[in-house]
């Protein structure tokens, strides 16, 4: 049995994240010691490691929830799992395409900048007027 700290250490996940996964039902409630300390099994570690790896691959929590549900029925065909993975791959490819366009736009802005005064700076000018951009990158879900 693992304490929450040892579980987090073993899976590379912070304690608040473990509590969050429990709260949203992605990890089952742990057993409790007589002192009310959370105690986790190897199965909980496997599940948390699965979640962590899926998050590292960029899967959203809802997709991970679906994958966990599917993994709980191992004798089923894996077509549904493949579909979820294909959705994630498409999202990654779209993100890469968007980042490639952003890279090109930033390079273009910098190449056009004469490195003179800020009043004549092409970077400032383009940032102030989206119509001067060569690519449409304004509409995006992953603005951070």
CA–CA–CA angle 43, 51, 65 (5° rounding): 100
Segment 11-59, tens digit of pLDDT? 999 999 999 999 999 999 999 999 999 999 999 999 999 999 999 999 9
The tokens describing 109, both together, are 């802005």
Q: How many residues can be counted in the chain? A: 144
Residues 6+ apart with CB under 8 A from 90: none
**3-state secondary structure at position 129:** coil
pLDDT tens column, 59-89: 999 999 999 999 989 899 999 999 999 999 9
Q: Please, what CATH class does the domain formed by 4-60 belong to?
A: mainly alpha
- pLDDT tens digit sequence for 81-137: 999 999 999 999 999 999 999 898 888 888 887 777 777 777 787 788 777 777 676
Distance CA 4, CA 18 (A): 8
From residue 124, give the alpha-carbon distance in Å to each of 99, 105, 114, 115.
20, 13, 12, 11
Check if the beta carbon of residue 70 is closer than 8 Å to that of residue 80: yes
Band (pLDDT 50/70/90 cuts) for residue 139 is low
What is the pLDDT, as a whole number, of residue 143?
45
């Amino acid at each position: 049995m693992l304490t929450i700290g040892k579980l987090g250490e073993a899976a590379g996940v912070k304690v608040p994240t473990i509590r969050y996964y429990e709260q949203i039902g992605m990890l089952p409630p742990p057993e409790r010691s007589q002192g009310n300390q959370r105690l986790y099994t190897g199965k909980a570690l496997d599940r948390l490691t699965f979640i962590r790896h899926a998050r590292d691959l960029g899967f959203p929590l809802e997709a991970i929830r679906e994958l966990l549900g599917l993994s709980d029925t191992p004798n089923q065909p894996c077509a549904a799992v493949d579909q979820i993975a294909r959705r994630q791959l498409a999202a990654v490819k779209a993100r890469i395409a968007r980042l490639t366009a952003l890279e090109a736009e930033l390079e273009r802005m910098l190449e056009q900048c004469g490195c003179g005064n800020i009043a004549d700076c092409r970077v400032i000018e383009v940032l102030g007027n989206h119509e001067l951009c060569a690519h449409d990158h304004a509409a995006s879900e992953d603005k951070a």
